[in-house]
Each structure stands twice: as structure tokens, then as C-alpha cells.
């Protein structure tokens, strides 16, 4: 059966539509757009920005989309999509053997959505057929089983949803997926990556979060490369653990695969926004190769056994300290029933010395307080200055080089899965690589 069997010219109007119909071209077909002696060959993409009805969008063989005006161009069908797609639509495919396929779970975000500009509505675009039209090369890498678990922007993510995602990932692993790819909005992808890292500790296969900074239907979207690399890593790396796979640089079609507890979105819009903090990526991937930076840890953890603890509490908080910060904020959290807070303090792990007595009182009342650094790179050391020493004496627990967000997710997880008196011990332990004994200079803060 052909994936793109239905005839369609999604989003095309006016001149572009007429020329495509005349040429017998559908979305997904390979076309040639010629301007005299210059011509472009690529796959016809759906068009969503309907402001200029003389433009067609094609995906070039290098993966980038370009918009071409057809006012002075001729359009020719090179090959129909059907000839290139031998497999059944993956959402309908049955009978995949264990390890033969990658499960792709969509949660929303730019990568999984198409914006209908006329209505402003966003709809999930992770049906197998949509994916295959976006990234036909996926067929050469792996069979896919797709599901749209939720369709939200990642700023709307919350601890209860982390649990839903963890359960969905776990059941795909139980069902025999070689690896799981989770398509996610980029804004809070690092939080979900940390959440899955704790919820599925000891997992024996790759779980890869992927997103895009520019939507898949825009020229120069990163969705295509990121998805291709994520599926390739999930199928071919045999590397256990939870990772984020996103563009490694602005121009290169290579993705960096970064541990889910040490990754951060460091730029609002660049395609290489995701950086490994206090560590290095584990691998670089492109369509042809997968290069590990750390050969020794490649391979399944035989008999490791996943410790599945998917619960997350909504009684944890994350607060960044700033000059002028009032103790009222921490007191309010405790009064409202929050059980603990991760502070992103200044420098080596400080807050104003005026807060120390109040913090000691809160700790004595059972409220948990952890210290990370808003510097992000490096680690807290609360033994260097008097303020740090006094905070330690007040019961604040330092968290080394743990990222503030990772510490917050870990606290939410620990509160849901351990008795309160064990939470400090859990927070201080390195469970999944979140707390390194020694920080690695990753040189990535420019
Ligand atoms: N802010 C939205 C989100 O994080 C869209 C941006 C994106 O997907 O990168 O889900």
C-alpha cells in the first residue's frame, strides 16, 4: 500500500495549485521546478502559509525546504511518492517483531504539529503518513509505530503528564520496541527528559526526546534532520538511557545526543539551542553515521532491569534567588503545603545572609531546601564563603553540579516515590548521571 496514496495538494491555491494539477503532482511526489537553465528537484511539501499562492515548497535532497515562485517556472513530475514508499502506513502496520521497530510517541510542540494559519489551529501531524512525507528516509532506518499521546505545547506540560509519558514509553518498551522516540515541544523538553530518566532508571534501551525550533512546514526547519537522527539513534545505537537529540550546530546536518539530565535549552531560536551542561554529548549522529564520544559505554545493559517509578508530586518548587528576594516566598510555599524547594542560588550556592535564620526555621519544620547554582556551569560549593557555611548549618542540601531543572524534577519524583525522611538521601545520590563527582568542562556557554 502506498503511504501517500490519496491525491492531495494540501494548502495550495491559485497559480501554484493550477501548475501542480497540470503537472499531475501531489504532495509527497518528487518534482522538478525549472527556471530556464536553473532547476531544483525535491519532494513537494504541503503548503501552509497561504499569503502567496504562486509559491511551492519543496524539500531538497539535503533536507532543507525551499519556497520557489512558479510565476516564471515550469513544474514537472519526476517520480510519484507511491514508488518510493513500499511499506504500509506505519500506524496500521502490525506484526513487528521485538527490536524491529522504533516507537514514536508524540506529545505535541512544533515538531509534531502543523499550524493552520487561516484558523490559527494547531493539529498533530504525527500520523505515519505525515512523517513519511516529511522524512521519507525514515523507511531506510527503521519501521515505526506511532501514537499521538497528547498534543500540547510544552509550556503546558506538568508532573502528571510526565507520568503519562513515562507509562506510554514503558509500555512501548514492554511491547518490544528497539527504542522509543518522544516528540516534544522544545521549551520544556529538558524537564521531561529528566523526568523520564528518573521514572525509567536502569532502562536497557534508548529513549530519545526530539523537537524542532522551526515547524516542519517552514523552509529551513530542523524537524527533518532532528527526527531522522533521533530515530537512527533509537534504532542503531543500542545505548541505554534517556537523551535529547537536536541539531549540533546552526548549519550542519548533524545532531548531538545529550544525556537527559544534563541538557538545557540555551537559546530561544537557534537550531543548536540544546547544550550539554557540565558534561559532553554522548554521540553525534547524521543520516549516514553515528559517532560515539564514549565508546566504552555503548551497548545494552544486560540484565540491568528497569526500576519503573513513574509518579511525580506537584508539591515541589523551583525558585531562582535574586537580590531583594523575600523569605515570604519560601514561607508561603510551606504554608501552601509544598514539601520542598530547589533554589537556584548565586555563584557557588548562596542566598542573602538575611534569609539564613528563616531558612533554618523552615528546615526544622520539615520543609526541604536544596541548593543549585543559577550559573548552571560548574558546581555549588558552600564551604568557601561564610554565607554558604551558614546555609549548610541551617540544613540546606547542596546538589553539586546538578542542573536546577533536573533537581526540581528529581525532587518532584523523589517526593512521590520515597518517604519524606529518605528524600534528602535520594537527592544527594547520583542515580542516573545527574550528579557528577567531577564537573566536565563542556565549553558551551557562548
Ligand atoms: N513553545 C512551544 C513548545 O515548547 C512550541 C515551541 C517548540 O515546540 O519548540 O512546545
Dist. CA 441–CA 446, nearest whole Å: 13
Tell me, yes or no, whether 439 lies in a domain.
no
169/290 same-domain check: yes
Dist. CA 260–CA 275, nearest whole Å: 11
Dist. CA 272–CA 214, nearest whole Å: 11
Per residue in 90-105, pLDDT tens? 454 457 888 889 999 9
pLDDT recorded at residue 183: 93
Looking at the predicted structure, is the pLDDT value of residue 301 above 50? no
248/287 same-domain check: yes
**Domain interval for residue 134:** 88-308
78/213 same-domain check: no
Residue listed under C-alpha cell 534501551: 205
341/414 same-domain check: yes
The CA–CA distances, whole Å, from 259 to 148, 223, 244, 319, 397 equal 24, 20, 7, 24, 24
pLDDT recorded at residue 85: 35
Looking at the predicted structure, is the pLDDT value of residue 40 above 70? yes
341/198 same-domain check: no
Tell me, yes or no, whether 389 lies in a domain.
yes
pLDDT recorded at residue 279: 92
Whichever domain contains 246, its CATH number is 3.40.50.1170
298/403 same-domain check: no
pLDDT band at 124 (very low <50, low <70, confident <90, very high): low
Q: Going by C-beta distance under 8 Å and a sequence separation of 6 or more, which residues neighbour residue 137? A: 228, 287
Residue listed under C-alpha cell 543500542: 238
Looking at the predicted structure, is the pLDDT value of residue 10 above 80? no
What integer best gives the mean pLDDT of the chain? 86
- Indicate the top mutation candidate among 150, 151, 153 to test ligand 1's pocket, ranked by most ligand atoms within 8 A of CB: 153
For the beta carbon of residue 305, count every other beta carbon within 10 angstroms.
Answer: 11
CB 215 within 8 A of CB 221: yes
Which residue's alpha carbon is nearest to atom 9 within ligand 1? Answer: 186
pLDDT band at 6 (very low <50, low <70, confident <90, very high): very low
284/198 same-domain check: yes
Query: Rounded to 5 degrees, what angle do the CA atoms 230, 196, 169 make?
Result: 70
> How many angstroms does the Cα of residue 279 sit away from the middle of ligand 1?
25
Tell me, yes or no, whether 278 lies in a domain.
yes
Helices 404-417 and 420-428 sit at what angle, rounded to 10 degrees? 140
Our answer to whether residue 262 is catalytic in this structure is no
Query: Rounded to 5 degrees, what angle do the CA atoms 282, 288, 289 make?
Result: 25
CB 173 within 8 A of CB 203: yes
pLDDT recorded at residue 129: 63
Tell me, yes or no, whether 1 lies in a domain.
no
Per residue in 394-433, pLDDT tens? 999 999 999 999 999 999 999 999 999 999 999 999 999 9
User: One of 107, 186, 387, 406 is an active-site residue; which one?
Assistant: 186
Q: Which atom of ligand 1 lies at the shortest distance from residue 156's CA?
A: 10
Tell me, yes or no, whether 6 lies in a domain.
no
Our answer to whether residue 186 is catalytic in this structure is yes
The CA–CA distances, whole Å, from 100 to 91, 103, 142, 446 equal 15, 10, 7, 40
Q: Going by C-beta distance under 8 Å and a sequence separation of 6 or more, which residues neighbour residue 146? A: 90, 91, 103, 104, 105, 106, 126, 127, 128, 131
> How many angstroms does the Cα of residue 212 sit away from the middle of ligand 1?
8
Which residue, of 277, 308, 339, is where some domain finishes? Answer: 308
338/288 same-domain check: no
Tell me, yes or no, whether 3 lies in a domain.
no
Our answer to whether residue 225 is catalytic in this structure is no
pLDDT recorded at residue 305: 85
- Dihedral (C-alpha) 58, 92, 138, 144: value to the nearest 10 degrees? 140
Answer whether 190 contacts ligand 1 (Cβ < 6 A). Answer: no
Whichever domain contains 323, its CATH number is 3.40.50.40
pLDDT band at 3 (very low <50, low <70, confident <90, very high): very low
Pick the more confident residue, 273 or 439.
273
> How many angstroms does the Cα of residue 15 sit away from the middle of ligand 1?
33
Whichever domain contains 60, its CATH number is 2.30.30.520
CB half-sphere exposure, 175, CA atoms < 13 A? 16
Which residue, of 266, 282, 308, is where some domain finishes? Answer: 308
User: One of 53, 158, 187, 315 is an active-site residue; which one?
Assistant: 187
User: One of 30, 57, 110, 225 is an active-site residue; which one?
Assistant: 110
Pick the more confident residue, 84 or 304.
304
Query: Rounded to 5 degrees, what angle do the CA atoms 242, 179, 164 make?
Result: 65
Answer whether 89 contacts ligand 1 (Cβ < 6 A). Answer: no
125/22 same-domain check: no
pLDDT band at 295 (very low <50, low <70, confident <90, very high): low
- Indicate the top mutation candidate among 113, 156, 187, 223 to test ligand 1's pocket, ranked by most ligand atoms within 8 A of CB: 187
Q: Which atom of ligand 1 lies at the shortest distance from residue 212's CA?
A: 9
> How many angstroms does the Cα of residue 115 sit away from the middle of ligand 1?
12
Q: Which atom of ligand 1 lies at the shortest distance from residue 213's CA?
A: 9
Q: What is the mean pLDDT of residues 293-309?
A: 67
Tell me, yes or no, whether 401 lies in a domain.
yes
Poorest-pLDDT segment among 161-175, 346-360, 430-444: 430-444
pLDDT more than 70, % of the chain: 83
Number of domains in the chain: 3
Tell me, yes or no, whether 443 lies in a domain.
no
pLDDT band at 180 (very low <50, low <70, confident <90, very high): very high
Q: Which atom of ligand 1 lies at the shortest distance from residue 111's CA?
A: 8
pLDDT recorded at residue 50: 55
266/285 same-domain check: yes
31/92 same-domain check: no
Answer whether 211 contacts ligand 1 (Cβ < 6 A). Answer: yes
Answer whether 185 contacts ligand 1 (Cβ < 6 A). Answer: yes
Looking at the predicted structure, is the pLDDT value of residue 83 above 50? no
Partners of 320 in the β-ladder:
344
Pick the more confident residue, 113 or 161.
161
409/378 same-domain check: yes
Per residue in 230-265, pLDDT tens? 999 999 999 999 999 999 998 778 999 999 999 999
Looking at the predicted structure, is the pLDDT value of residue 21 above 90? no
Amino acid at each position: 500500500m502506498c503511504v501517500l496514496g490519496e491525491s492531495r495538494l494540501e494548502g495550495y491555491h491559485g497559480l501554484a495549485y493550477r501548475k501542480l494539477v497540470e503537472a499531475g503532482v501531489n504532495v509527497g511526489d518528487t518534482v522538478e521546478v525549472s527556471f530556464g537553465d536553473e532547476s531544483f528537484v525535491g519532494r513537494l511539501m504541503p503548503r501552509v502559509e497561504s499569503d502567496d499562492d504562486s509559491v511551492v515548497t519543496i524539500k531538497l535532497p539535503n533536507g532543507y525546504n525551499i519556497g520557489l515562485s512558479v510565476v516564471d517556472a515550469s513544474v514537472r513530475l519526476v517520480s510519484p511518492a507511491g514508488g518510493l514508499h513500499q511499506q504500509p502506513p506505519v500506524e496500521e502496520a502490525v506484526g513487528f517483531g521485538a527490536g524491529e521497530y522504533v516507537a514514536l510517541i508524540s506529545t505535541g510542540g512544533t515538531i509534531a504539529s502543523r499550524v493552520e494559519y487561516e484558523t490559527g489551529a494547531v493539529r498533530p501531524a504525527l500520523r505515519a503518513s505525515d512523517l513519511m512525507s516529511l522524512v521519507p528516509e525514515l523507511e531506510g532506518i527503521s519501521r515505526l509505530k506511532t501514537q499521538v499521546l497528547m498534543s500540547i505545547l510544552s509550556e503546558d506540560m506538568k508532573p502528571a503528564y510526565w507520568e503519562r509519558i513515562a507509562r506510554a514509553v514503558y509500555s512501548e518498551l514492554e511491547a518490544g520496541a528497539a527504542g522509543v522516540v518522544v516528540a516534544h515541544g522544545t521549551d520544556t523538553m529538558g524537564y521531561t527528559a529528566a523526568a523520564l530518566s528518573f521514572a525509567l532508571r536502569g532502562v536497557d534501551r534508548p529513549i530519545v526526546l526530539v523537537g524542532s525550533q522551526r515547524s516542519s512546514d517552514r523552509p529551513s526547519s530542523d524537524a527533518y534532520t532532528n527526527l531522522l537522527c533521533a530515530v537512527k539513534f533509537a534504532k542503531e545505537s543500542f545505548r541505554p538511557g534517556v537523551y535529547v537529540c537536536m541539531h549540533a550546530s546552526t548549519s550542519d546536518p548533524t545532531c548531538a545526543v545529550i544525556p537527559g539530565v544534563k541538557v538545557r535549552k540555551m537559546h530561544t531560536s537557534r537550531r543548536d539551542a540544546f547544550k550539554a551542561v557540565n558534561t559532553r554529548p554522548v554521540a553525534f549522529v547524521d543520516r549516514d553515521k553515528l559517532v560515539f564520544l564514549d565508546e566504552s559505554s555503548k551497548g545494552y545493559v544486560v540484565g540491568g532491569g528497569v526500576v519503573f517509578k513513574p509518579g511525580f508530586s506537584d508539591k515541589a518548587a523551583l525558585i531562582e534567588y535574586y537580590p531583594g528576594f523575600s523569605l515570604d516566598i519560601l514561607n508561603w510555599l510551606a504554608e501552601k503545603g509544598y514539601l520542598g524547594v530547589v533554589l537556584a542560588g548565586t555563584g557557588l550556592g548562596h542566598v542573602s545572609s538575611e534569609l539564613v535564620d528563616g531558612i533554618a526555621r523552615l528546615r526544622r519544620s520539615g520543609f526541604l531546601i536544596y541548593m543549585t547554582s543559577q550559573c548552571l556551569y560548574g558546581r555549588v560549593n558552600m564551604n568557601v564563603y561564610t554565607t554558604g557555611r551558614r546555609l549548610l548549618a541551617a540544613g540546606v542540601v547542596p546538589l553539586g553540579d546538578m542542573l536546577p531543572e533536573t533537581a526540581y524534577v528529581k525532587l518532584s519524583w523523589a517526593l512521590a516515590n520515597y518517604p519524606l525522611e529518605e528524600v534528602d538521601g535520594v537527592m544527594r545520590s547520583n542515580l542516573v548521571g545527574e550528579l557528577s563527582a567531577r564537573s566536565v568542562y563542556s565549553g558551551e556557554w557562548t
